[in-house]
Amino acid sequence: MNKDLSQTVNYTALDNEVEYRYFFESGLNGMLVFLPHSNEIIAANPTACSLLGMTEEEIYSLTNLDLFDLSNPNVLIFLEERKHKQKVIAEITIIRKNGTVFPVMVESLLFKDNNGEEKNYFIFRDNTELITTVQETEKAAQK
């Protein structure tokens, strides 16, 4: 069956912007966008602000490196992999405004925008509950 191309919806740049905004602002995961060459954070969604315990302005005053728990070897491995790959998925630890360190599952995606500028999406979710559940399950299985 041939698809009638006259019936195809044509998305405009505005449609794409609206969809992007909705996805970014209503996501269940924390999302940051930063410039890889300077590590400057240029966008933070409400979930990222909540997870980090910071306002957007506070986040923008930092670089993405300020958020990482650099004492965790997994963070250092993640940062090294990110230099060489367009997409990296890892379990690392990051730091909230109050100084507490918490585990996250992170996906880092490198891309070029319409102007050819490199940007990095940093998508993360708090893994504290998952890790606690796994540990409790393992402990119960050992009994």
Among 36, 102, 29, 27, smallest CA distance to 68 is for: 102
Q: Would the pTM of this model clear 0.85, i.e. be above it?
A: no
CA distance 99 to 52: 10
- Helix, strand and coil percent figures for the chain, each rounded to 5: 40, 30, 30
CA distances, 82 to each of 16, 43, 121 (Å): 27, 19, 11
Q: What is the mean pLDDT of residues 85-94?
A: 95
Q: Under a CB-based contact definition with an 8 Å cutoff, are residues 106 and 92 in contact?
A: yes
CA distance 77 to 75: 5
pLDDT at 110 over 80: yes
pLDDT tens track for 9-52: 454 555 566 666 666 677 789 999 999 889 999 999 999 999 99
- Identify the three-state secondary structure at position 26: helix
Residue 66: pLDDT band (50, 70, 90) is very high
The two counts, helices (H) then strands (E), for the chain are 6, 5
| Main-chain phi, psi angles of 28, to 5 degrees | -80, -15
For 48-100, list the strands marked E by DSSP. Answer: 87-95
